[in-house]
Structure 1
Amino acid sequence: MTYNVAILGASGYTGAELVRLISTHPDLKIVGLSGNSKAGMTMAEVFPHLRHLDLPRLTTIEDMSFDGVDMVFCGLPHATSQEVIAKLPDHVRIVDMSADFRLRDTADYEKWYGKAHAAPDLQKTAVYGLTEFYREQIKTARLVAGTGCNAATGQYALRPLISSSVIDLDHIIIDLKAAVSGAGRSLKENLLHAELSEGAHAYAVGGTHRHLGEFDQEFSAIAGRPVQVQFTPHLLPANRGILATVYVHGDADEVHSTLSQAYANETFIITLPKGEHPSIKHIRASNFCHIGVVADRIPGRTIIIAALDNLTKGSSGQALQNANLMLGLNETSGLMVAPVFP
């Protein structure tokens, strides 16, 4: 059986990544693409690397028909998704890649995103989309909220350790490097080549990054008490990829054993042999996440390094993985492409 899908916000990076992945999917067909600022254009005009595909023209959301559409992927900006998704017909299932439904408490959404939630009743039905940890809930959900790419990276490194109580929950530091595509495709002065290249800089320093809302929500729920991590992201002059270096108080052998066991049966999460650590080059353009564990020179301290592609495993690949579960398809369909190297 072939399922018809539509992508809202297809003219952005996550939209293009979804098209790339779905083009190799045996059970999905793209029947609708929206991109309000690019309406009327072909995807070949917007993204020439996709010109070999037979795709519908971009339209506005208002002009798109959802008759016969089974699944909608929403790659719209934060705050826009809430209002659009609330108006979608009841028969479609939805994977949202914005932040609009990630935080279960609407007061937390207002705290981190600076405005009241526009669809609080719909928020109550949303399932958090970190696939490996919410698999059963995702299968039956109508609306799945994709995670933040930074939030996903940190959680893959830490969730099994928090649930197994093998690290000190009051001493967790996440030092994260993120490529520029995570900031989206819109024009921004600080992302110009002359501003960004040949350098790297920290941002949202001191605990202001919005993905901290997800860390607080998820880690505290696992631990059964408040858990707050120190988190500093840095912007890299690279196109795609995230590398998170996580510092914890805990035995390295125990940390490595816990992560290895937790992910032993997961296709996309790979724990490296102890002492090895990953590079964003090793997961580029793939749905894989590599995790390395190294003992620090200070006894009782451990360094965990996690790498994933922010556009794939951190967003569009995760979205497709969740959609596969929602539609009862093979979870890995369209996602087994090998990383691109060099």
Structure 2
Amino acid sequence: MTTSTKIRVGVYGASGYAGQDLIEILAKHPQVEIVFGTSNTYAGDIIPFTSLRYIPSDDAPLSLVDAVFLALPHQTSAKMAHLALSHGKKVIDLSADLRLDTPESYAKWYHEPHPHPDLLPTPYGLVEINREILRGIDRVAVPGCYPTTTLLGLYPLLTSGALAPHTPIVVDAKSGVSGAGREPKPNTHFVEVFGNFSPYNAGRTHRHVGEMEQEIAKLDPQAGALIFVPHLLPVDRGLMASIYVTLNDGFTSDQAQHLYEEIYDGEALVDVLPPKHHATLKHAVRTNKCVISLNPVLPNLLHITSVTDNLRKGAAGQAVQNFNLMYHLDETTALL
């Protein structure tokens, strides 16, 4: 593409943490022109990395763009997605509104009716798994940060049928405070977070459990229940999922390294570390990559560490990766 044919985009919710990272990535994207970024709270302030100022969402010139990124709260996002699609715009939705396949599942996990059930199902934008169905589409559901990190950590085992049927998948996850969003909350104040480390929504109560189990079942219908315990980590960004799985009788934990290296060979945004190395937050923070390490515990028990930046591969970077596929661009454009 030449400069005259750049793709014109708007970002709704551009002042949130994911929205800010999205603006930063898009500002250096050679095929993109950012037309607007919305923020009802910070309207009139300069948008970092651009010469633009935030505008209220109601003032956004939807007719002037080709695509919109929605970094909005659930419920609000689906309404904007419906409006944008009705005007012929492509939609990249970073909220939870389009991730679940049915309105019934959405109501179960979000405890309110879906505002536009006609939008379900929407293609699930975990590129390394669903790449071939994402090219050229008009809307995409960008996976959540916990599901992205967990599913990429499990994918080689799920797709090869290596898990023991109907045995629990245990995920002990930790996320930086930015995962809770920019709006202040009592449990995210500095004095509550600093020097502390706390679980929340433990077991099977976190909203992302439904999303993760939905995608796990598509890859391995015999996979067991997901036991998911997220923790609030006293850092600004970064997400680590420590995953514990039981393997079937035909696959042993010392075979996992080769399997993961084979499955992710050629994936520019997934790194599998060598044996006896452990993935840490520093491997992934401020990158658009998922970094994975493997620790064979027993012949039938494997520990996987999967790490991302919750705002990059877990949100904004993955949104741009999907955008690139929607427009048949190199999917890593502006991400490496």
TM-score range, shorter chain: over 0.9
- Given that 1:166 and 1:254 are in contact with CA atoms closer than 8 Å, whether structure 2 keeps it comes out as no
CA distance in 2, matches of 1:204, 1:171: 18
Aligned residue pairs total 326
CA distance in 2, matches of 1:226, 1:283: 28
CA distance in 2, matches of 1:224, 1:54: 46
**Which residue of 206, 215, 225 maps to 1:228?**
225
Alpha-carbon displacement from aligned partner over 1:216-240 (angstroms, at most 9, x marks no partner): 1011111134642111111100000
Matched residue of 1:29: which SS?
A: strand
CA RMSD of aligned residues (A): 1.3
* Closer, same or farther: CA 216–145 of 1 in aligned 2, 3 Å: same
CA distance in 2, matches of 1:264, 1:6: 34
* Closer, same or farther: CA 224–167 of 1 in aligned 2, 3 Å: closer
Aligned equivalent of 1:269: 270
1:326 aligns with 2:323: no
Residue identity in the other structure for 1:106? P
Deviates more, 1:132-141 or 1:230-239: 132-141
CA distance in 2, matches of 1:227, 1:115: 27
Alpha-carbon displacement from aligned partner over 1:271-319 (angstroms, at most 9, x marks no partner): 11122111011111111111001111x3421111011100000000000
- Given that 1:97 and 1:146 are in contact with CA atoms closer than 8 Å, whether structure 2 keeps it comes out as yes
- Given that 1:220 and 1:227 are in contact with CA atoms closer than 8 Å, whether structure 2 keeps it comes out as no
CA distance in 1, matches of 2:226, 2:11: 34
Alpha-carbon displacement from aligned partner over 1:115-138 (angstroms, at most 9, x marks no partner): 0001111123x2111111111211
Any unmatched runs of 5+ in structure 1? 44-49, 337-342
Matched residue of 1:127: which SS?
A: coil
Any unmatched runs of 5+ in structure 2? none
Residue identity in the other structure for 1:200? F
Residue identity in the other structure for 2:263? A
Alpha-carbon displacement from aligned partner over 1:23-56 (angstroms, at most 9, x marks no partner): 211111111111112222222xxxxxx3xx3332
**Which residue of 3, 15, 26 maps to 2:7?**
3
1:316 aligns with 2:316: yes
CA distance in 1, matches of 2:254, 2:275: 8
* Closer, same or farther: CA 227–42 of 1 in aligned 2, 3 Å: same
1:101-250 correspondence to structure 2 within 5 Å: 101-124=98-121, 126-169=122-165, 170-225=167-222, 227-250=224-247
CA distance in 2, matches of 1:206, 1:131: 27
**Which residue of 66, 73, 88 maps to 2:69?**
73
Aligned equivalent of 1:58: 54
Aligned equivalent of 1:259: 260
Work out the percentage of aligned pairs sharing the same amino acid. 37
Deviates more, 1:113-122 or 1:65-74: 65-74
Residue identity in the other structure for 2:236? N
Residue identity in the other structure for 2:217? S
* Closer, same or farther: CA 224–249 of 1 in aligned 2, 3 Å: closer
**Residue 78 of structure 1: CA displacement?**
1.2
* Closer, same or farther: CA 168–85 of 1 in aligned 2, 3 Å: same
Aligned equivalent of 2:279: 278
CA distance in 2, matches of 1:80, 1:323: 21
**Which residue of 30, 40, 43 maps to 1:39?**
43
**Residue 253 of structure 1: CA displacement?**
2.1
Q: Normalising to structure 1: TM-score of the pair?
A: 0.92
Matched residue of 2:192: which SS?
A: helix
CA distance in 2, matches of 1:39, 1:54: 15
**Residue 192 of structure 1: CA displacement?**
0.4
CA distance in 1, matches of 2:132, 2:98: 18
- Given that 1:292 and 1:306 are in contact with CA atoms closer than 8 Å, whether structure 2 keeps it comes out as yes
- Given that 2:35 and 2:64 are in contact with CA atoms closer than 8 Å, whether structure 1 keeps it comes out as no
Matched residue of 1:85: which SS?
A: helix
- Given that 1:249 and 1:300 are in contact with CA atoms closer than 8 Å, whether structure 2 keeps it comes out as yes
Residue identity in the other structure for 1:79? Q
